[in-house]
């Protein structure tokens, strides 16, 4: 019933969109004809109306009526490969009162979904797809999996997927019109219409999710449906943590696990207690009229308030429904992830060694570059740092790193310790030990934990640096193994935190992307009021590190002095450490990537201190 109402409302509003656009077109032409008798601007008004509102009709209709679905994602699982999975899905479809999907595909996201290639805006059914996220297969039990799949099949039984085609076409039509009129005053009526459309459609979408939850309870039972819903944000948070802690650093170091989903399963098993705590205190949820799904907490409470349905629990891992799950995980990963020139490894000890050493090298490169600036040399190694301490330049070094400290020498061991660790790693005397429950730890040849805190204290003092050298030699650590790799700062791990379009650097027009470690200056700006579009297009065209190589990159650490002449619009002079001077001048019509962009850059420049 809700699906039909949603489809009817969407159909009415979709037709209303074209009527609305046609009315605006007629009104625009009418005003133009009236203006012809009073001034020569009438032709311009008619032309604007035809190109604007007429174009919106054409673009919206083209997107809505001629949309072609992209190829199905993931890896298809046929009934011969996973007969138990297919039997389970077909049984659930019967229980939900609907036709089973024609194809089951396993994808890499923490998600499950259904789609249907319906025809004539949903009047004629088409091929059905069920998508199952691999992270769900390695974390949910079979009963919870039934609830998730039952919910998705509930969208079929209530015609959500078929009649949802109308709503989808409406979004495409309005989106096309807004894209055509973006940035112009003529786009404002369509923005208002679009907001009304989304309010109506999103409300219907939330109601459909509640309908599908009823099916989940019917086919899997109250407990399984409630626990599966509550588990989804936990799995999502664990997946994000897994990528940030393990996969991301590994990829940056040139490695990927052979099966990232097996690693995810192992991590969640090792961190069961932490995940249990997360289930007890889930993160707060925001509720909005713009949401397409009701909050998880609200859905769980509603499921538990329904008349209870008790079914036998199957606590097996959902992945047990598919033979050779590890092989499937490798296939899904191959389809979803661009390996590039990275090495695949099934040994997490090897991956941990590579990723943590790469991260340490990045940290040490920051130290080496600053030491090079203090010592006024091009490249620096640990040997050079120790010679400088021995020559009585320890205080000078420490002040370069801690200019605001009254007694910076006491903190010099903090600078030297990572350099000693790097030398030990490069000399093969220590290794990182992999762990799913804590950060990687250093271990010596005998497997015992190792740290270099005390040795760093000896190395930071001119009176005892000789003892530190001797001890390092006894341990088989060669100090010349710790040396700079990136002598010039890069944007390798940088993130975009703002941007100012249509600025001037000296006499050159530029768009300026603000990173957390520097500025990317993209020439070719100008007072064209298109700065945001150009910056957004640049960010879509290539990763941030590639943009930094393609254009001029100004690392913040290379700024010796920043003089702020004016805050609004921003005018500043940057004296670089190589003696070069850069003058930044924001115009009154400059575009901000987000409204805090100028304040972000001001805060960074005000924090620059001569070192």
Segment 235-264 shows an average pLDDT of: 95
pLDDT at 540 over 70: yes
What stretches of 53-135 adopt beta strand conformation (E)? Answer: 75-77, 103-107, 112-116, 128-133
Question: CA–CA separation, 541 vs 531, rounded Å?
Answer: 15
Do 581 and 470 share a domain, yes or no? Answer: no
Poorest-confidence range of 5-14, 72-81, 372-381, 461-470? 5-14
pLDDT at 486 over 70: yes
Q: What percent of the chain has pLDDT over 70?
A: 80
Segment 598-610 shows an average pLDDT of: 85
3-state helix, strand, coil in the chain (%, to 5): 55, 15, 30
Q: Does residue 246 fall inside a structural domain?
A: yes
pLDDT at 24 over 60: no
pLDDT at 589 over 50: yes
Question: CA–CA separation, 87 vs 84, rounded Å?
Answer: 5
| pLDDT tens, residue by residue, 394-451 | 999 999 899 888 888 999 999 999 999 999 999 999 999 999 999 999 999 888 999 9
Task: Answer whether the bond into residue 60 is a cis peptide, omega within 30°.
Answer: no
Q: Does residue 552 fall inside a structural domain?
A: yes
**Tokens 């495409």 belong to residue:** 172
Higher-pLDDT residue of 33, 262 = 262
Segment 303-311 shows an average pLDDT of: 92
Q: Per the structure block, which two tokens stand in for 584?
A: 């930044």
Give the CATH number of the domain where residue 545 resides.
Answer: 2.30.29.30
Question: CA–CA separation, 473 vs 217, rounded Å?
Answer: 68
What stretches of 99-175 adopt beta strand conformation (E)? Answer: 103-107, 112-116, 128-133
pTM score of the predicted model: 0.81
Poorest-confidence range of 29-43, 72-86, 376-390? 29-43
Do 310 and 408 share a domain, yes or no? Answer: no
Q: Does residue 342 fall inside a structural domain?
A: yes
Read off the DSSP letter of residue 520: E
Do 151 and 236 share a domain, yes or no? Answer: yes
Residue ending a domain, among 455, 481, 507, is 481
Q: Phi then psi for 442, rounded to 5 degrees?
A: -85, 140
Segment 71-86 shows an average pLDDT of: 92
Q: How confident is the model at residue 533 (pLDDT cuts 50, 70, 90)?
A: confident
Helix (H, G, I), strand (E, B) or coil at 563: strand
Do 279 and 424 share a domain, yes or no? Answer: no
pLDDT of residue 49: 46
Buried b (16+ CB within 10 A) or exposed e, 446-475: eeeebebeebbbbbbbeeebeebbebbeeb
Q: Does residue 87 fall inside a structural domain?
A: yes
pLDDT of residue 478: 95
Give, for 584, the enclosing helix (H) or strand (E).
strand 581-592
Do 328 and 220 share a domain, yes or no? Answer: yes
Do 150 and 283 share a domain, yes or no? Answer: yes
Which residues, at least 6 apart from 254, have a Cβ–Cβ distance to it below 8 Å? 341, 342, 343, 354, 358
Q: Does residue 358 fall inside a structural domain?
A: no
pLDDT at 227 over 90: yes
Q: Does residue 44 fall inside a structural domain?
A: no
Do 94 and 9 share a domain, yes or no? Answer: yes
Q: Phi then psi for 260, rounded to 5 degrees?
A: -65, -25
Do 268 and 307 share a domain, yes or no? Answer: yes
Domain containing residue 135: 1-22+52-346
Residue ending a domain, among 311, 346, 381, is 346
Q: Per the structure block, which two tokens stand in for 356?
A: 């943590």
Q: Does residue 489 fall inside a structural domain?
A: no
Question: CA–CA separation, 250 vs 242, rounded Å?
Answer: 11
Q: Does residue 9 fall inside a structural domain?
A: yes
Do 379 and 518 share a domain, yes or no? Answer: no
Q: Name the CA dihedral angle for 107, 111, 112, 118, rounded to a multiple of 10 degrees.
A: -80
Mean pLDDT rounded to a whole number for the chain: 84
Segment 556-575 shows an average pLDDT of: 91
Do 171 and 307 share a domain, yes or no? Answer: yes
Do 228 and 123 share a domain, yes or no? Answer: yes
CA 418 to chain centre: 29
Do 387 and 245 share a domain, yes or no? Answer: no
Which residues, at least 6 apart from 418, have a Cβ–Cβ distance to it below 8 Å? 360, 363, 364, 367
If one counts the domains in the chain, the total is: 3
Helix (H, G, I), strand (E, B) or coil at 72: coil
Question: CA–CA separation, 214 vs 154, rounded Å?
Answer: 8
Segment 339-343 shows an average pLDDT of: 91
pLDDT of residue 530: 76
């Amino acid at each position: 019933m809700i699906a039909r109402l949603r489809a009817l409302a969407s159909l009415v509003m979709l037709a209303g969109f074209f009527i609305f656009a046609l009315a605006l077109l007629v009104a625009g032409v009418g005003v133009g004809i009236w203006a012809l008798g009073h001034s020569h601007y009438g032709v311009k008004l008619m032309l604007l109306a035809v190109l604007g509102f007429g174009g919106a009709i054409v673009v919206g209709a083209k997107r809505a009526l001629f949309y072609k679905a992209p190829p199905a994602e993931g890896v298809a699982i046929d009934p011969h490969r996973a007969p138990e999975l297919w039997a389970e899905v077909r049984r659930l479809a019967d229980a939900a009162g609907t036709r089973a999907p024609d194809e089951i595909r396993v994808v890499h996201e923490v998600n499950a979904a259904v789609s249907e290639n319906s025809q004539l805006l949903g009047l004629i059914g088409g091929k059905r797809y069920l998508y199952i996220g691999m992270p769900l297969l390695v974390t949910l039990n079979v009963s919870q999996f039934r609830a998730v799949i039952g919910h998705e099949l509930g969208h079929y039984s209530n015609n959500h997927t078929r009649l949802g085609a109308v709503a989808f076409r409406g979004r495409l039509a309005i989106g096309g019109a807004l894209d055509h009129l973006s940035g112009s005053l003529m786009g404002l009526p369509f923005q208002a219409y679009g907001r009304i459309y989304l309010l109506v459609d999103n409300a219907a979408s939330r109601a459909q999710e509640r309908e599908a939850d009823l099916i989940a309870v019917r086919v899997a039972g109250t407990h399984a449906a409630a626990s599966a819903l509550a588990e989804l944000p936990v799995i999502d948070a664990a997946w994000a943590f897994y990528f940030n802690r393990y996969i991301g650093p590994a990829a940056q170091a040139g490695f990927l696990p052979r099966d990232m989903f097996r690693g995810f399963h192992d991590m969640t098993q090792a961190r069961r207690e932490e995940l249990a705590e997360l289930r007890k205190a889930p993160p707060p949820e925001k509720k909005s009229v713009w949401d397409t799904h009701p909050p998880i907490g609200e859905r769980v409470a509603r499921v538990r308030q329904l008349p209870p349905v008790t079914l036998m629990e199957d606590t097996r891992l959902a992945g047990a429904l598919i033979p050779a799950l590890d092989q499937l995980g490798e296939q899904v990963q191959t389809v979803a992830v661009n390996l590039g020139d990275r090495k695949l490894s099934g040994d997490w000890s090897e991956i941990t060694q590579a990723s943590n050493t790469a991260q340490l090298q990045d940290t040490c490169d920051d130290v080496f570059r600053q030491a090079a600036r203090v010592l006024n040399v091009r490249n620096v190694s640990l040997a050079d740092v120790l010679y400088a301490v021995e020559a009585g330049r320890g205080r000078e070094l420490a002040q370069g790193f801690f200019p605001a400290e009254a007694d910076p020498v006491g903190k010099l061991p903090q600078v030297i310790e990572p350099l000693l660790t790097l030398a030990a790693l490069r000399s093969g005397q220590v290794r990182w030990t992999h762990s799913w429950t804590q950060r990687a730890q250093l271990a010596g040849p005998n497997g015992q934990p190792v740290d270099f805190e005390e040795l760093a204290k000896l190395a930071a003092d001119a009176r005892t640096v000789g003892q530190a050298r001797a001890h390092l030699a006894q341990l088989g650590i060669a100090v010349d193994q710790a040396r700079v790799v990136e002598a010039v700062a890069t944007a390798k791990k940088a993130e975009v935190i703002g941007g100012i379009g249509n600025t001037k650097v000296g006499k050159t027009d530029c768009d300026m992307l603000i990173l957390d470690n520097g500025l990317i200056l993209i020439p070719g700006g100008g007072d064209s009021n298109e700065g945001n579009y150009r910056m957004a297009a640049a960010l879509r065209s290539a990763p941030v590190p590639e943009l930094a190589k393609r254009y001029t990159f100004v690392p913040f650490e290379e700024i010796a002095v920043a003089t702020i002449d004016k805050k609004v619009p921003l005018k500043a002079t940057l004296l670089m450490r190589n003696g070069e001077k850069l003058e930044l001048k924001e115009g009154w019509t400059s575009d901000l990537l987000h409204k805090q962009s100028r304040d972000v850059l001001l805060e960074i420049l005000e924090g620059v201190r001569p070192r």
